[in-house]
Amino acid sequence: MFDVPFWLWIAFAATVVVSLAVDLLAHRDTHVIGFKEAAAWSGLWVGLALVFGGVVFFVLGGTAGTEYTTAWLLEKSLSVDNLFVFALIFAYFKVPRAYQHRVLFFGVIGALVFRGVFLAAGVAVVSRFTAVLFVFAAILFYSVYKILKGEEESFDPGRSFAVRLLRKVIPVRDTYAGPKFFVKEAGKRVATPLLAVVAAIEAADLIFAVDSVPAVLAVSDDAFIVYTSNAFAILGLRALYFLLSGLLDRFHYLSKGLAIILGFIGVKLILQALHKMVSPSVPEIPSPVSLAIIVVVLAVSVILSLRHPVDPADEDAGGSDEEEALAPPPGGRQDPR
């Protein structure tokens, strides 16, 4: 654990609050986020994350700075899977493009809260029960198996627990009412499908946290490092979605790269557990090595995807998995409820 000064926590919280406020003010009007705007915001979020990493490096030392950068890059890479699910949810509920940023904005706020809870619980458990690292490693290895076998869990937005719970709490109307989440009908307050979309996004993030939390805890067991790195990765998720929207299918080797990264992190977790429980002579993988491996694997995955694109003839013949996932259910889907 690092000796994190209180003012650094305050600086982090202030940065997040100001960033969200600026983002909200900059997108007061509902409009479609174009590539140039998304690229500018992506650059801003990445730059902000790296600047904060520099502050961590300067205040807490090189080890903390390296762990923060590694955890942030790991979370950033794992979040690519979220982008595919976002696309699926938006297609399922037929969300107009002009409203998608508003949905993701509130989805990010929820993710910041839930990840904070999960990471705090994870740090507490790991600090008391080192053996849980073996359980986390098993979760990551199972995720690798599903990815390599093409058996990744499907996500049905309409059947997610959060959406079903929402429908029990408040009626959900059939049609959108602009960017509003609630409207009044016959004197009663009802939700619009836009609120159901937010619920579906939050449910998806809970699912991805199953892989994300164990992975980041393999990099660091310090609450400040794991949460700040996650927070800055999550803050840039909206801009990354609009930046890569329509290009996700091109990075077809990225899933294999993520499988390699998750497998490597699983091995790292096992070595950490053995080092603490069995013998200090069991080597641990240093954070700089972890950072280098993640960077190399991601770079190779992207380069291979661009140099060996999917054959358009194959896509036309059978359709990509993502296209099938984005297709409406049999019979169409007109009622978001």
* Consecutive H or E run containing 201: helix 193-219
Whole-angstrom distance, CA of residue 213 vs CA of residue 163: 23
pLDDT in the model for residue 311: 62
Whole-angstrom distance, CA of residue 242 vs CA of residue 102: 12
Question: Does residue 2 sit within a domain?
Answer: no
Question: Does residue 1 sit within a domain?
Answer: no
State the pLDDT confidence band at 335, using cuts at 50, 70 and 90.
very low
Beta bridge partners of residue 185, listed in sequence order:
188
Reported as a single tens digit per residue, the pLDDT across 103-117 is 888 888 888 888 888
Are 91 and 326 in contact by the 8 Å Cβ rule? The answer is: yes
Query: Is a pLDDT exceeding 60 seen at residue 120?
Result: yes
State the pLDDT confidence band at 153, using cuts at 50, 70 and 90.
low
pLDDT in the model for residue 18: 92
pLDDT in the model for residue 327: 38
Question: Does residue 17 sit within a domain?
Answer: no
pLDDT in the model for residue 67: 92
Reported as a single tens digit per residue, the pLDDT across 5-32 is 999 999 999 999 998 888 877 777 777 7
Helices 254-277 and 193-219 sit at what angle, rounded to 10 degrees? 50
Q: Hey, is 191 helix, strand or coil?
A: strand
Reported as a single tens digit per residue, the pLDDT across 38-89 is 888 889 999 999 999 999 999 999 899 999 999 999 888 887 777 777 887 8
Residue 67 is given by DSSP the state H
Six-digit token string for 116: 């904070």
Whole-angstrom distance, CA of residue 162 vs CA of residue 69: 32
| Residue in the structure block whose two tokens are 């809970």 | 206
Are 24 and 105 in contact by the 8 Å Cβ rule? The answer is: yes
Are 255 and 147 in contact by the 8 Å Cβ rule? The answer is: yes
Burial of residue 255 (number of CB atoms within 10 Å: 0-12, 13-18, 19+): middle
Question: Does residue 260 sit within a domain?
Answer: yes
Are 70 and 135 in contact by the 8 Å Cβ rule? The answer is: no
* Consecutive H or E run containing 257: helix 254-277
CA 209, distance to chain mean position in Å, is 8
* Consecutive H or E run containing 264: helix 254-277
pTM for the structure as a whole: 0.78
Q: What is the CA radius of gyration of the chain?
A: 21
Six-digit token string for 230: 């996650």
Question: Does residue 253 sit within a domain?
Answer: yes
Question: Does residue 9 sit within a domain?
Answer: no
Domain tally, the chain:
1
Reported as a single tens digit per residue, the pLDDT across 277-308 is 888 888 888 878 888 888 898 889 888 888 87
Parent domain of 242: 26-326
Measured from the Cβ of residue 70, the count of other Cβ atoms closer than 10 Å reads 26
Whole-angstrom distance, CA of residue 100 vs CA of residue 31: 9
Question: Does residue 18 sit within a domain?
Answer: no
Average pLDDT, the chain: 81
Whole-angstrom distance, CA of residue 51 vs CA of residue 54: 5
Query: In the chain, what percentage of residues exceed pLDDT 90?
Result: 15
Reported as a single tens digit per residue, the pLDDT across 216-229 is 888 888 889 999 99
